[in-house]
Structures are given as structure tokens and as C-alpha cells.
Structure 1
């Protein structure tokens, strides 16, 4: 087994765990409203698609419907932002942008996979037609690299923020485990760690061949 396969096995386990968590909260949880349930189900769909994407049997899934689905999911998160307490609508939208970027990255990956499939098919075209297409790939490749880099950098920043912002809280929670602490305060850091881990996995998937 190659090093790439080992990385993909780890990512598959990560995304499978995220899918189970999202499904449990999207279907079984009664505390989340309808918007929260949809959020969790979208995360479940993304995690499942990411888990199978690296493998040959996962590539058999139709790319274009996936691209359309995840592009719509990317719009869902900012368009359904709801402000809380004194929070402005702009702040509420910004809070959901990392989720939208993750869905956009998924749509971009499936779009790129579809594009490579079409290029493979184009190998059987007549030489004159193929030569006429040679002017396009260089510019498209540069634009594609730019989109990938922007998504990867933004998601990497979001992942690092989620993974590191609660480290002092985690240490405090460990030191005062016998104290009476509000359950939501204890769970919040681990929720951010889970989100950061999945976002970091998305960055790796963006940058690795699949």
C-alpha cells in the first residue's frame, strides 16, 4: 500500500465518522430545528461523498449531479443565516461561510473530476479537432489552480482557527473536571475540533490527486 493510499484510508475514516455524526444529529436529534437538521444532512452528504471520492468505485458516481448539489449547498449556508441576540446579519452570514466554502470545495472537486473525464474522452477525437482544443487547457489549468489555491488557503485558515481557538478551554476543562460545568461549554471545544478536523481533511483532498 502506497503512502497516498494510507492518507486516503485515514481521510476515509475521518469522513465516515463525520457522516455518522451528521446523520445522528440530522435525523435523531430533536433539539435542532429544521434548519439545523438540513445543515447536518448536507454535512453528511458531503462527508459520504468525500469518503468514497479517492477510490475507483467512488469515481463511478455521476460527477455533474454532485457538482450541482454541492453548489446549491454552498449557497444554502449564507442564504439561511439567522442572527442571534445582538449579532448582525452580516456577522451571521460570515459565521456560516466556512461551511459554504467546504461545500464549494466539494463542488469544485467534482467539477474538476468531470473535466478530467471529458479530457480523457477527448483523446479519441480526430487530430485536427484535438489540436484546435490545445489553446484552452493552459488558461483553464491556471484558472483552476487559482480557484484551488484560494479555497485551500481559506479552508486551511478556518481549520487552524477551529482547531486552536479553544485550546486553553480544553486545558481548563481537563483541570476542573470535578467542578460543575455547563454541558454546552464542555462540548463546544470538541465540536470546533471536529469541524476543524473535517475542514483540514477537505484541504488535503483538494490538494491531493483523486
Structure 2
């Protein structure tokens, strides 16, 4: 077993556990309204898809429908922020932004999997057309690298913030909200941070 396989096994275990947790909250929790249940069902779908993605080396589910699904899910979180119990819609949207970015990262990965395969340039093609083709491919590759980098950097910040929220030495004395955070909220932060960190690793491992 290679080091990549070991990492893939760890990611699969993480995402499978996250899927079970999200599904349990969606079906069992009595305190959630319908919006919260949809949130958890979307998290379940994302976690399950990411659990099998490291092993998806052959024909599987069509990538384009997956891309459309997760792109819609990415829009769901900010668009439904208006009904959240927050002081303002902007604050609610900011709170739900990490989930939207996570769904967008999933859509980005499935989109790159559905991208057209690179075909060799025909031998009779004029040299200027070959140069244009290579320049276009290089531009697409650079743009794709920038998008991946931005998504990974944002999710890494989210992961570090969530995973270190329960560490007293990293909290300022004036951070009354963090100090009064309940154990249940810290439990949620742990899973949010773990999912974000796992998504970062998937983004960097993804070809």
C-alpha cells in the first residue's frame, strides 16, 4: 500500500464518519427546522461523494450532473441566509459562507473530472495553430491552478479557525463568545474544521 492509498483511506474514514453524523442530525434532531435538515442532507451528499472520490478510478456517476448538484448546493447556503435567525442577512450569509465554499470546491473537482480529454495535435495542423492550441491549454491550466489555490487557501483558514477554537491559549481574554462556547458548538467546530481540512487535501491531491 502506497502513501497515497494510506491518505485516501484516512480521508474515506473521515468523510464516511462526517456523512453518518450529518445524516443522523438531519433525520433524528428535533430542534432543526426544514432549512437545517436540508443543510445536513447536503453535507451528507458531499461527504459521501468525497468518501468515494479517492477510489473513483473507473466509470462511475456522470460528472456533469454532480457538478450541477454541488454548484446549486453552493448557492443554497448564501441564498437561504435571509431566513436564518441572525441580526442581519449579511451576518447570516457570512456564517454560511464556508459551507458554500466547500460545496463550490466539490463542484470544481467534479467539473475538472468532466473536462475534455487532451487530444494530440494533428500532424498537418499549421505551426501557428499548434502554438495557439498550446497557449490556450497553458492558460486554462494556470486559471485552474489559481481557482484551486484560492479555494484551498480559504478552506485552510476555515479549518485552522474551527479546529483551534477550543484551545484556551489561542483565545484572547476579550473573546467572550469563544469562552462561552458550549461543548456542542465545539463539537460542531471540530467536524466543520475536519471537513474543511479534508477538502483542502482532496483539492491538492486532485489531478
Q: TM-score normalized by structure 2?
A: 0.85
Q: Does the 8 A contact of 1:163 with 1:193 survive in 2?
A: yes
User: Do the aligned partners of residues 92 and 138 (structure 1) sit closer, same or farther apart at CA in structure 2, a change above 3 Å counting?
Assistant: same
> CA–CA distance in 2 between the matches of 1:155 and 1:197?
10
- Mark the runs of 5 or more structure 1 residues left unpaired by the alignment: 170-181
Instruction: Answer yes or no: is 1:47 the counterpart of 2:42.
Output: no
Shift of 1:165: 1.4
> Which residue in 2 is equivalent to 1:204?
201
Q: Does the 8 A contact of 2:77 with 2:100 survive in 1?
A: yes
User: Do the aligned partners of residues 18 and 58 (structure 1) sit closer, same or farther apart at CA in structure 2, a change above 3 Å counting?
Assistant: farther
Instruction: Answer yes or no: is 1:190 the counterpart of 2:191.
Output: no
Shift of 1:127: 4.3
Shift of 1:168: 2.4
Shift of 1:89: 1.1
Deviation per CA, 1:111-154, whole angstroms, max 9, x where unpaired? Answer: 11111xx215x35x744579464332100000000000000000
Shift of 1:106: 0.2
> Which residue in 2 is equivalent to 1:119?
117
Aligned residues: 192
Deviation per CA, 1:158-194, whole angstroms, max 9, x where unpaired? Answer: 111111112229xxxxxxxxxxxx9x82211111011
> CA–CA distance in 2 between the matches of 1:105 and 1:190?
23
Q: Does the 8 A contact of 1:83 with 1:91 survive in 2?
A: no
> Which residue in 2 is equivalent to 1:166?
166
> CA–CA distance in 2 between the matches of 1:105 and 1:21?
21
> CA–CA distance in 2 between the matches of 1:43 and 1:128?
50
> CA–CA distance in 1 between the matches of 2:156 and 2:90?
22
CA RMSD for the aligned pairs?
2.2
Q: TM-score normalized by structure 1?
A: 0.84
> Which residue in 2 is equivalent to 1:89?
89
List aligned pairs for 1:75-154, cutoff 5 A: 75-81=75-81, 82-84=83-85, 87-115=87-115, 118-120=116-118, 122-123=119-120, 126-128=122-124, 131=130, 133-154=133-154
Q: Does the 8 A contact of 1:19 with 1:43 survive in 2?
A: yes
